[in-house]
Amino acid sequence: MDYASLPAREIERLARNVAPGAWAVERERPLATLLGSCVAVCLFDPQTRIGGLNHFMLPNMQRSSHGEVDALLAGDYAMEALLNALLSQGARKARLQAKAFGGGTIIETTGQSLAIGQRNAHFARDWLKREGIPLLASDFLGPWSRKLLFLPGNGDAWCKRIVTSHATAEVIAREEQAYAATLNKPSEPDNNVELF
C-alpha cells in the first residue's frame, strides 16, 4: 500500500501505536505516538526502506532497589534496542538517518521534573551525533505535546503540535505514570523457565 499518498488522518488510523517504553520496526506500516516530555527518535535506512521509532521517558535510568527496571523507558537503552533491531533486519548504520521529536513541558511542576523534556532532547541529539547518524529534522521543547506519524519505508514524518489543555496533559501524564508505576512492582517469578 502506498501510505504516502493517503491523507494524514487515514495514515494515523492505520498506524501501529508506539507506547512509552516501546519501540517498533516496520518496512511499510506507519508508526504513531503521542509525546509529552518524552522523546521519540525515528531511524530509517533509505536504501533498504526500513525504519523504526522508539518512545523513551528519561535519558537513562538507574535500577530500582529490587533490581527490576524496564530499561526501554531510558533513552540509552531504547536507542540501542532500536538500532540493533534495524541492523538485524538489513539496515546499515552508515546509511541511517534520523528525525526526532518531543521533550515538551506540558505539566507545570517544580524541581527536577521540569527539566525532563530538555534532558531527553539533549540526550537524543548527543546520542545521534556520537553515533554519526545525521539528524535531518527535529521538533523539540516548548509548552505543547506532539502527535507523531512516521512512514518507515521512506522516512517521512509528520509532527503536529497540540496546545496542551489540562485534559490533554492529564491523559499524557496518566499514560506515562501508569507505565512508570509498573516499574515499582516486583515481577512475578516465571515458573516456565527451564534451567540447564
Higher per-residue confidence, 132 vs 60: 132
Please report how the helices 116-131 and 75-88 are oriented relative to each other, as an axis angle in degrees rounded to 10: 40
* Cell 506519524 -> residue: 149
pTM to 2 decimals? 0.79
Instruction: State the chain's mean pLDDT as an integer.
Output: 83
Each residue's pLDDT tens digit, 53-95? 999 988 776 555 544 445 557 888 899 999 999 999 999 999 9
What is the full DSSP assignment across 3-37? GGGS-HHHHHHHSEE--TTEEEEESSS-EEEEESS
Which positions are annotated as active-site residues?
Answer: 38
The CATH number that domain 3-180 falls under is: 3.30.1330.200
22 vs 68: which has the higher pLDDT? 22
pLDDT at 185: 53
The amino acid at 194: E
At 111, which amino acid appears? G
Average pLDDT value for residue range 23-32 = 96
Q: What is the 3-state secondary structure (H, E, C) of 44-62?
A: EECCCCEEEEEEECECCCC
pLDDT at 7: 87
CB 123 within 8 A of CB 100: no
Residue 101 bridge partners (DSSP): 40, 139
Give the Cα separation of 78 and 171 in Å (integer). Answer: 23
Lowest mean pLDDT among 89-93, 112-116, 153-157: 112-116
Q: Please state whether 125 falls in left (phi above 0), alpha (psi between -120 and 50) or beta.
A: alpha
Name the one residue in this structure whose C-alpha cell is 539528524: 135
pLDDT of residue 74: 84
Of residues 15 and 59, which shows the higher confidence score? 15
Rounded CA gap, 7 and 30, in Å? 12
In the chain, what is the straight-line distance between the N-terminal and C-terminal CA atoms, in Å?
A: 46
Mean pLDDT of the region 109-113: 48
Note the pLDDT of residue 167. 64
**Closest of 165, 150, 25, 159 to residue 103, by C-alpha:** 159
Could you tell me the three cell numbers for 59?
535519558
Q: Could you give the strand order of the β-sheet that contains 144-151, starting from the edge strand earlier in sequence?
A: 16-17, 31-35, 144-151, 156-163
Domain ranges of the chain: 3-180
The pLDDT of 98-119, averaged and rounded, is 76
pLDDT of 14 above 90: yes
Least confident of 56-60, 110-114, 181-185: 110-114
pLDDT above 60 (res 50):
yes
What per-residue confidence (pLDDT) applies to 84?
97
Percentage of the chain with pLDDT > 70?
A: 72
